[in-house]
Chains A and B, each alone.
Chain A
Amino acid sequence: MQVLLLFSIFAISACGMVYELISSTLASYLLGDSITQFSTIIGVYLFAMGVGAYLCQHLQKNLTGIFVQVELLIGLVGGFSSTILFLLFEQVSSFRVLVYSLIGLVGCLVGLELPLLMRILKTHFEFKKLVSKVFTFDYVGALLGSLLFPLVLVPHLGLVRSSFLFGVMNVLVAIWALNLFKQSIPWVKPLKAQAFFYLLVLLFGFVYSDQITRFTEALSYPDRVIYSKSSPYQRIVLTQEGEDLRLFLNGNLQFSSRDEYRYHEALVHPGLSALQNPKRVLVLGGGDGLALREILKYRSVETIQLVDLDHRVVDLFSNQDSLKALNGDSFHNPKVHLAVADAFEWLKTNKDPFDFVVVDFPDPSNFSIGKLYSTTFFNLLHKNVKPEGAVVIQSTSPYVARKSFWCVAQTLDSVDFWTRPYHLYVPSFGEWGFVLASWKPLPLPEKFPEGLKFLNAVTLRNMVNFPPDMAMVKTGVNRLDNQVLVRYFENEWSKFLHY
């Protein structure tokens, strides 16, 4: 009995240690800044233990029963702690409050454990020995927990499975205590049933933890994630830090609300302002509605057709208040028409050519997106723009990916477009490039819509100049059957920092 007893102390403290570590780790995964996370969580945890110990004096009757109950609760809450944190991370707006309450609850319960156990055991042991044994095993258990955590648990089981495992340990201690103190506990049977039920639930969690983690997959974004969803095409994540809203698709930054005006003004106006009386505009990609906002500044424009593959992005940007404020609620403008479709497919069936086409696809980082920068696609584009119209194409960074950028331009050249490449600096992205393409040469516009924050005639004249480190290089032409662009892109960006 003695050995078992001491073993249970050992287990209890190892469990406590592990929950604490799991919460800190998780918080620093999800919230970033691990020093702060670790120390505040450990602080809160220890404080909560103190609270638990203090509360213990108020418990008078049925100590063993309470002990069992406490063990069961720790098992359940601790066991599910990481799952809860992962799951609620995306839903709860004040995630910190949740972390601290959860860790507070576990700490409080763990704080109750030892004093309770000592009071139960005081009739069985001499006090002097009891105190020293309990604390010895408590500390050894803590050591074991803290060693197991980085060496065995995290690498082999992962956070979710580890918490379930330790939850199971707590429940086993409870079951053992139930058996040991059968006589002194009223209502043994219901307690037992409860214990076995918890055990079952925790074991279930342990076995299915892979499925659970898949649901909850930790995201490592520097800012606070305020929205995240997976669509069939991509993972959409929106973060906010102070005023700054950022959209990520598959982990790649799409815009930062701080400087997106630079990007979108540069995307739209150099082309659209060069046209006489543009009426029909097409936007491919750009489900955030920010390009729409810029296009709507032209009175002459009668219809804007937006084609995006992912209705979830569009839904998000047409319904969320903060995002609607950003794009000027452009999706509710009667001029805007929306099609959820693949750009290739949509263009193939389109009959009516456009005055202006904005092509704002993700960078050509893989072979399927690379197809949208191929001669085949650009030929199709050529057919969909009027002879006096123009197309603009987002063409990655001419600084980081110089060959990629010029490859887009030269691929456009190869299908008989006249092209004008230009670039600008977007603080959150770095140096960025676009290529304007049309059937016939276009003038550099001098006049722009009112109220632009970045673009004017002088800025634009600078934008079409390429300093030597971004100057034109001869590249291959990107075709479906060679996909040179994807190869350039991979090469160039892999040398640069991953963003």
Chain B
Amino acid sequence: MRKKWLWFFILLFLGGGAFHLYQGSHQPIQGGIMGASSRAGHLLREGKFPPVEKTTHTEVVIVGGGISGLSAAWQLNRKGIHSFQILELEKQLGGNAQSGRNEVSAYPWGAHYVPLPGPAEVYVRQLFEELGVIQGYDKKGLPRYNELYLCSDPQERLYLNGTWQDGLLPQTGVTNEDRKQYKAFFTAMDYFRGAVGFDGKRAFCIPIDLSSQDPSFLKYDQISMAELLVQKGWTSPFLKWYVDYACKDDYGTHMEKVSAWAGIHYFASRIGRASNSAENSVLTWPEGNGWLVNRLVEKVGAYGRCNSLVYNVEKRDKEVWVDFYDLTTQKSERMICKAVIFSAPRFVASHVVKALRDHPPAYLPAFTYAPWMVANLTVDELQHSQGVAPAWDNVFFKSESLGYVTATHQNIERYPKTKTVLTYYYPLCEGEPTEERQKAIARSYKDWTDLILGDFKKVHPDIKEKLNELNVWIWGHGMIRPTVGFIWGKERKEVLKSTPPIFFAHSDMSGISIFEEAQYRGVKAADEVLKFLKSKGLKQSK
């Protein structure tokens, strides 16, 4: 009898030990799926809202509080217009650039860096001066940046062949032929960076609309980036991986679908320099572009109203009605204004703006958006793996994901706290966006964690033991896709036409989704509104 008990205990102990050793695999993981709010989307599509209960008046309403909306507000505010409102459906302002924070660090939920702005990015530079990101200019006119915001070294590393290498361009196991093609590729990109068209404009510029209209460059919009590689004889599998990685990184789309013009733009548009940093530097913060959002919110947040889903924008005589549903009180309200800056995406506009709802525009199907999944993992310090030290951006070779960015990288304390937050990026681009979006919504939290941890495990075997919390964010319509023919096609031209008193501002009008474009759209729309109000004011006073 007793002996049996003893065996029972032995087994229990051994089992306990085995469990201890392999713990993690069965422990429930802390966290969940966070956003963005898909309920709002449903409500919009159903279109059933309670009748308006309250009406207020203001000069201008900004629909959507992402970077474009906030930038419009920033511009209005500094030009002396103070009678306006931002309506944002989410709980916080920032759109795709919003961020979160826990006891370990602040971290991004989407956009996480801005490259050094070039001379054409006038508004970006103005903002950066205001925020102390640019601290002055040297004799040559090069901006001096606050060094705390320049991405600290080491910037990037790539996990390839079981070890981490410096930089993202594959170096181990590549042949001389690969290297020759690397060289040819970058020589070509350098050429494009300096190229100027017959109209005297840069071939690949930011803002995109200041680019040359020379057909010898615009023609690249007619083929895909993958085709360009084939045409140029760039067949190196490593180079192909690298270019495809770049397309996924900036456009959330494989190079087979991305316009070659946009693909080249990624490599050739940046000419920003600094007096105190290298050319290819980027600006980043623990919370990513959420830092810029927070600074903008400090300036114009008072004009913002969150949890407000705009469902109808309608021109009525000399005024515009903006009807919105307050998600907290569950009541509808109306704002009557003179002009609207519509800085939510175009697919939203097609449900919200009455004119577009009544006559669905032909350009709509050309606007496609890449879905994304972003996860934030709070972890104890991971074991140091083979190769170079942890960097800001840590990429896994040939992974579906783009790897992760370390939120605490910019900390200057001598020892980063042992815990950190890793932001993991995953463009959902295997299939068509609609299909991927549906698949993403159908996935459970466990499906996501299995996928994420599976990917991490190949590189960091200790990820499960070290994980404290994992939260997932699905961006159903994360980024506009610069598909073949989209950037310089007739559809985009159509949406650029001014349609007072409703002015559009979202970054999807640029065909590529980056901070600089979003800001440019916002500021431009605000300028148009200013002009519009002035002209109306003049007419009224007559």
Contacts and interface: CB of A to CB of B under 8 A. Distances in A.
3 closest Cβ pairs, A-B complex: A207-B17, A483-B153, A481-B150
B151 interface: yes
Interface stretch (B96-104, B412-420, B501-509, B529-537): B412-420
Interface string A190-233: 00110010011001100110100000000000000000000011
Interface string A375-393: 1110000000000000000
A410 B227 CA distance: 49
Interface of B: 2-3, 6, 9-10, 13-14, 17-18, 20-21, 147-148, 150-155, 276-278, 281, 389, 412-416, 418
A482 interface: yes
Contacts of B413: 342, 344-345, 368
Given A204-B13, A207-B13, A207-B18, A368 B281 contact: no
Contacts of B389: 366-367
A309 interface: yes
A262 interface: no
B412 A232 contact: no
Contacts of A264: none
A344 B154 contact: no
Contacts of A208: 17, 20
A366 B415 CA distance: 10
Contacts of A193: 2, 6
Contact of A207 (B6, B14, B415, B416): B14
Given A196-B6, A481-B153, A309 B415 contact: yes
Given A196-B6, A207-B18, A374-B147, A367 B153 contact: yes
Nearest to B166: A487
Nearest to A211: B20
21 contacts: A193-B2, A196-B3, A196-B10, A203-B10, A343-B414, A344-B413, A344-B414, A345-B413, A361-B414, A367-B154, A368-B415, A371-B412, A375-B147, A480-B150, A481-B152, A481-B153, A481-B277, A481-B278, A482-B153, A482-B277, A482-B278
Given A203-B17, A208-B17, A483-B153, 19 more contacts: A196-B6, A196-B10, A203-B14, A207-B17, A208-B20, A232-B418, A367-B389, A368-B414, A368-B416, A371-B412, A372-B414, A375-B276, A479-B150, A480-B148, A480-B150, A480-B152, A481-B147, A482-B153, A482-B277
B147 A480 contact: yes
A268 to B, nearest CB: 22
Nearest to A480: B152
Given A203-B10, A479-B147, A371 B415 contact: no
A199 B13 CA distance: 11
Interface in A137-165: none
A192 B5 CA distance: 13
Most buried by A among B155, B276, B281, B416: B276
A343 B414 CA distance: 8
Interface residues of A, number: 35
Contacts of B278: 481-482
Interface of A: 189, 192-193, 196, 199-200, 203-204, 207-208, 210, 232-233, 309, 342-345, 361, 366-369, 371-372, 374-377, 479-483, 486
Contact of B276 (A233, A377, A479): A479
Contacts of A309: 414-415
A376 B2 CA distance: 70
Contacts of B17: 203-204, 207-208
A323 to B, nearest CB: 23
Nearest to A367: B389
Nearest to A479: B147
Nearest to A414: B276
B322 to A, nearest CB: 44
B283 to A, nearest CB: 10
A372 B278 CA distance: 20
Nearest to A490: B389
Contacts of B153: 367, 479-483, 486
Contact of B148 (A343, A369, A376, A483): A376
A367 B390 CA distance: 9
B423 to A, nearest CB: 19
Contacts of B151: 481
A200 B281 contact: no
Contacts of A207: 13-14, 17-18, 20-21
Contact of A376 (B10, B13, B147): B147
A342 B152 CA distance: 18
Contacts of A482: 153, 277-278
A345 B152 CA distance: 17
A481 B281 contact: yes
Nearest to B281: A481
Contacts of A367: 152-154, 389
Nearest to A285: B414
B515 to A, nearest CB: 19
A483 B414 contact: no
A271 B267 CA distance: 50
A361 to B, nearest CB: 8
Contacts of B152: 367, 371, 480-481, 483
B10 A199 contact: yes
Residue picked from B20, B152, B414, B415, most chain A C-beta under 10 Å = B414
A222 B253 CA distance: 58
A217 to B, nearest CB: 15
